[in-house]
Every structure is written in structure tokens, then in C-alpha cells.
Amino acid sequence: MTARNFNWYVSLAMVCLCANLSVAQTIQPPQEIEINSLNKKLTLSADSTTYDQKWGDVHRVLSSWEIDGNGILKSVNRIALPVNGSPDFKYALTLVHEGDRTFVVVKGMWHLFIYDVMNDQLSNLMRPDFPNGVGHDAQTGHLKNIELSDDGMTLSGYAMDLGDFKYDLTDLLNPVQAQD
């Protein structure tokens, strides 16, 4: 969390306290990734379309913005991602620069997406398939240790209790699970 985001959070908490409002755990700044070389910014935030009665704000609105020469943001794309297993499970964003490709890995609890930053498009949902996998408990299948190959063409990871998986990223929008 940057100092600016921390100050935003503290300011919002103070406003709520002064107004005699309760401060819910869901109050948080959006996740942000700035891609200076492309004059773009990606955010993961909550709004009224993703509000959940039980859980409150659900941060699953992925937005892409162009940044003009004056630092003004122009909305390019807005996508409401599916609920991530449970409304309170957060997505995580990771920026990848590999060769002439720039993309963001959007990691959920049991599934992934690739956001092609240059073309402002989201891949098909990737949920690793384990035909012989057996669930042990609620943690089974949680995605861990996501890594990218040196050439940026293979994404690999581990799904808890189920094993390793790999995706071929030759086509960023249509990743294919590799069969070992």
C-alpha cells in the first residue's frame, strides 16, 4: 500500500467515524497497476454493481484507463469479473512485460484470467482441470505459486491438494491448459 493509498484509507475511516458510521472491513482502496510505457492504468475496484448484501463491497470490477499527457484518465474498458468463489475472496493483479507483450495476470482463488493490456481484452477464464483430482476440504484447488516461463509463453502454478498445472499463452486471449 502506498503512502497516498494509506492516507486515503485513514481519511475515509476518519470521515466514517466523525459521521458516526461503522467502518466495515470492505473499505479499501482499489488495486492499481500503472503501465507507464503504454500510458495506461488498470484498477480492480468495487461499485454498486458488485455490492453483495452479506459481504458489502466486492472488488471485482477490472477497469482499464488511458492516461493523457496531463495525467487525466480516460476509461477504455470496464469488466465485472465473476465472483471469486466467495464474494469476500479477493483477486490479485500482477503485471508482466515479456518481449513485445504486456499483460496482467488476474488471479482468483480457483481461476485465472489474462488481461492483454495492449489490446484491452480479457482472456477466457482459466480453471485448471484435474480429472483425477479429489477434494479434501475447502482449501482444495486454491491457486498457489503462479509463475511465468522465461520466454513468457507458459504460465504454471500449483493448485492445493491437486497438483501442478500449466497453460500455453501463445494466444493470450485463448490460453490452453497443457497436458503433461
Label the pairing between strands 112-116 and 121-122. Answer: antiparallel
Q: Is the pLDDT of residue 1 over 80?
A: no
Residue 89 has what pLDDT?
Answer: 78
Q: Is 134 helix (H, G, I), strand (E, B) or coil?
A: coil
Q: Is the pLDDT of residue 143 over 50?
A: yes
Q: How far apart are CA 177 and CA 126, in angstroms?
A: 8
Q: How far apart are CA 15 and CA 11, in angstroms?
A: 6
- CA 5 to chain CA centroid, nearest Å: 18
Q: Is the pLDDT of residue 18 over 70?
A: no
Contact criterion met (CB below 8 Å) for 47 and 33: no
